[in-house]
Amino acid sequence: MASTKNSEPGLYWTPKGGNNHEAMFASCHNYTSVTKDKETGKVSKTTILIDMGQNEDPKDFADGVYQKVVPALTDCLAIPGQPEPEEPAAAIFLTHSHSDHIDAIFEYVQMGVELPPIYGTEYTINALRAEFIKRQIPVPEGLEMKTVEAGDTIEIGNMKVEALAASHSIPGCLSFKLSNEEVSAFHSGDTKSDQTSSLGDGRGVSLDAYRAMEGVDFAVWDGAMANRSGHSTSEAGAKEEYKKIFEDKANEGKQIIVAMPAAHSQRLASVIAAAAEAGKHVIINGGATMEINYVALGDNGYDLQEKYPDITIATAGSDEAQKIKPEDCITITTGIYGEKNSPFVKKLQGLDDSFVLRDDAVIVSPAVGKAVSEREKIEDLLDGYIEKDPDHRSGMKIITAETVKGIGSSGHAQHDDFFQDLLPALKAKVNVPTHVGSAKKAERFMQELRDAGYGTLSEYPRNGYTVQVTKQGCQIVAKEEVKWIGAKYSKKKDKDGNDVLDKQLSWSVEDDHGFSTGDFRQDNARKKIKEWQQKNSQGNNQDKGNNQNNVNSSIIKDIKRDGR
Amino acid sequence: MADEYDWFSLDFWAEELEKKYPSTNLFSLSDQKLSEMLLSLEAAKGMSALPTKKSYFSALRSAWTVVQYGGDDSKDIPDAYI
């Protein structure tokens, strides 16, 4: 049955996972292009998806009974046991290879869903293929993974999809401009305006390309306008700050440890560049994800050892690393958020002694902000470590982004570069935020847009809302309750005897439980979850490899507010 | 026995390598050296030709890091924060 929400010519955008009440959740977007033949009056529709992310905090959904949670794309993918999709997606375009943008793909493939062709840069497609192999999920026969690079235009049905370079925290990131004969829309993906990455060579965002799109009818800004103190909007500036620390006489002869997020490849490159300029070798000792990402850089044309032949870049434990004295190198590790997989964190917690940590170590850890306070800060762990042997360890020191401004890490546009660079370059008629962390942030974001004279919607488009883009303007034309797919996984033991996820066992389609509206914090949502759990405990298909087939998408007549 | 696995049974080969070459960091080895190590394994006897693509060895190193450090990525920072 054809949908009535998009019967008029135009473009239609429906966020599927990133616009929750709180938390980042999954970036996933449905775009439908509707055109009408001027002679015959025949209506043509083309639907694509941009990104298919996973919920990054599955424990927050349905009291954490699922190990993986992804948007339920029942309206555009043929899911076993579910009604046929109204408007099947003709393609999936990926902005980049982060888990909150691609990981739903692995869930759908394991569910036996046939996906349309997937488009991404060579780096993104390589990352996708590597993940299939790493997870030991066979790539389905017939699944097409196609490369698209900045500057390419792909025609899908009645829609044109133009790829543009984006600057994020990893290589191979894209924005997309979508257009049909009526209107156009811009989807930023995760990006910032910085063009000074050590991985750069002209592959980052181009404000000239933005200017060439001036007057685009609608723009969706993904993850933009973060506000983190100590953040650097220039990767070259961050590199210089690190270099100063490495060359600081006060740090001479000491072990310098730089902590960063494991998947922040751009910052890894900046720190290695700073180390090379300071004449320091590099030892990478951040755990599995960091090592994989480092190797991925080399596999995709960013061989940093080749770029900096005067220094040795070695992985911890290698023969090369054994030959380097701690004071002659920069040790790059993870752990700024107290990640349990980090060898540095394990060392501080006394769980693993293999990480070399001298009593005079200078630790550079740019963790700042709310995201950190919700987790165990590396400063706290370090304090605990020092307290165990203060006579020897009191000489250790930590440098954060609050003490040295400009070493903060983010691949997202901050307030300044968003308002000063991106927005005025694009000059879209209507701008909306997506995937910014919370409804409160998004609404503040929209108010700032209005205050600055930029067009936006009158209401924050939550997950499941559909925005119609026409020449006459943009408006919300539907408010449907989104669904989620929760997947349960078997577990296996790792080398240390810890439980880790193994294979997808079962999955089911779940209601939103108020996640997109904030109602889940209220008693009625808790009650709803309890009812669902009772039903679940009675054996309703949960572990039988079946879905619950409970899709009854309904229009929300009255979106409850929770006093924001 | 060779029917039970192929060259893309990465966990298996990562574990076999760890057994024969404990604490050898695969990231510090060339693809050529890694090929030689794989072919030296008892389980490799009678196998078809080893893949030669760079991406294969990268994926094998990824599997090896899971053997080494354990776990899925769920204990890392969510990518959304980066």
Q: What pLDDT sits at residue A557?
A: 23
The distance of B14 to chain A (nearest Cα, Å) reads: 11
User: Which residue from A99, A290, A295 is spatially nearest to B61, judged by alpha carbons?
Assistant: A295
> What is the pLDDT confidence band of residue B70, given thresholds at 50, 70 and 90?
low
How far apart CA A261 and CA A339 sit, in angstroms, is 9
Residues 242-271 of A with CB under 8 A from B: 261-264
Interface contact B79-A99, CB threshold 8 A: yes
Interface contact B77-A263, CB threshold 8 A: yes
Residue A367: is its pLDDT beyond 80? no
Interface contact B80-A24, CB threshold 8 A: yes
- Residue A108 neighbours by CB under 8 Å, 6+ apart: A52, A70, A73, A77, A79, A115
The mean pLDDT value for A486-490 works out to 93
Residue A91: is its pLDDT beyond 50? yes
Lowest mean pLDDT among A75-84, A223-232, A308-317, A390-399: A223-232
Q: What pLDDT sits at residue A550?
A: 31
Strand duo A153-156 + A159-165: pairing? antiparallel
Residue A171: is its pLDDT beyond 70? yes
> What is the pLDDT confidence band of residue A228, given thresholds at 50, 70 and 90?
low
For residues A68 and A62, which has the higher predicted lDDT (pLDDT)? A68
Chain segment A240-257, per-residue pLDDT in tens: 999 999 999 999 999 999
User: Which residue from A178, A174, A173 is spatially nearest to A30, judged by alpha carbons?
Assistant: A178
Lowest mean pLDDT among A31-35, A272-276, A438-442: A438-442
The token pair at A167 is 């600057």
DSSP per-residue codes, B11-50 = HHHHHHHHHHSTT--GGGS-HHHHHHHHHTSGGGTT--PP
Question: What is the rounded radius of gyration, in angstroms, for the C-alpha atoms of chain B?
Answer: 14
The mean pLDDT value for A305-328 works out to 91
User: Which residue from A333, A237, A248, A242 is spatially nearest to A283, judged by alpha carbons?
Assistant: A333
Chain B within 8 Å of A189 (Cβ-Cβ)? no
The token pair at A404 is 């040295």
Residue A85: is its pLDDT beyond 90? yes
How far apart CA A185 and CA A474 sit, in angstroms, is 11
The token pair at A331 is 């040790």
Interface contact B75-A339, CB threshold 8 A: yes
The distance of A245 to chain B (nearest Cα, Å) reads: 22
What is the maximum span of chain A, computed from C-alpha positions, in angstroms? 86
Q: What pLDDT sits at residue A256?
A: 98
The distance of B29 to chain A (nearest Cα, Å) reads: 9
Instruction: Identify the residue among B65, B72, B75 best suited for mutation to test binding to A, counting A beta carbons within 10 A and taking the highest.
Output: B72
The mean pLDDT value for A129-142 works out to 85
Residue A552: is its pLDDT beyond 50? no
Residues 299-338 of A with CB under 8 A from B: 299, 314-321, 334, 336-337
* HSE-up (13 A, CA, CB side) for residue A468: 18
User: Which residue from A406, A413, A408, A369 is spatially nearest to A225, judged by alpha carbons?
Assistant: A413
For residues A263 and A14, which has the higher predicted lDDT (pLDDT)? A14
The mean pLDDT value for A84-106 works out to 95
Interface contact A133-B8, CB threshold 8 A: yes
Task: Name residue, tokens 């790829």.
Answer: A163
Q: What pLDDT sits at residue A559?
A: 24
> What is the pLDDT confidence band of residue A492, given thresholds at 50, 70 and 90?
confident
ipTM: 0.71
Interface contact A292-B72, CB threshold 8 A: no
Question: For a pLDDT cut of 90, what percent of chain A falls above it?
Answer: 58
The token pair at A470 is 């026409």
Chain A within 8 Å of B37 (Cβ-Cβ)? no
> What is the pLDDT confidence band of residue A483, given thresholds at 50, 70 and 90?
very high
A435 with A460: CB under 8 angstroms?
Answer: no
A343 with A287: CB under 8 angstroms?
Answer: yes
Q: Give the nearest partner residue to A291 out of B54, B65, B76, using CB atoms.
A: B65
Q: Which fold has domain B2-70?
A: Arc Repressor Mutant, subunit A (1.10.10)
How far apart CA A411 and CA A417 sit, in angstroms, is 12
* Angle at CA of residue A125, ends A122 and A128, nearest 5°: 150
What single-letter DSSP state applies at residue A62?
Answer: G
* Dihedral sign of CA atoms A343, A348, A352, A358 in order: positive
Interface contact A262-B71, CB threshold 8 A: no
> What is the pLDDT confidence band of residue A532, given thresholds at 50, 70 and 90?
low
Interface contact B79-A263, CB threshold 8 A: yes
Q: Give the end-to-end CA distance of chain A in Å, rounded to a whole number.
A: 37
How far apart CA A219 and CA B15 sit, in angstroms, is 48
Task: Walk across the sheet containing A256-259 and list its strands.
Answer: A313-315, A281-284, A329-333, A256-259, A362-364, A397-399
The distance of A557 to chain B (nearest Cα, Å) reads: 31
> What is the pLDDT confidence band of residue A370, given thresholds at 50, 70 and 90?
low
Residue spans of the domains in chain A: they are: 10-158+453-483, 235-399
For residues B10 and A469, which has the higher predicted lDDT (pLDDT)? A469
Chain segment B57-69, per-residue pLDDT in tens: 877 887 787 776 6
Interface contact A223-B61, CB threshold 8 A: no
Average pLDDT for chain B: 81
A371 with A23: CB under 8 angstroms?
Answer: no
How far apart CA A40 and CA A442 sit, in angstroms, is 42
A89 with A99: CB under 8 angstroms?
Answer: no
Highest CATH level, class, for A235-399: alpha beta
How far apart CA A151 and CA A163 sit, in angstroms, is 6
Task: Name residue, tokens 């001027």.
Answer: A38
Question: Which residue blocks in A112-262 are alpha helix, DSSP H?
Answer: 122-134, 207-212, 235-247
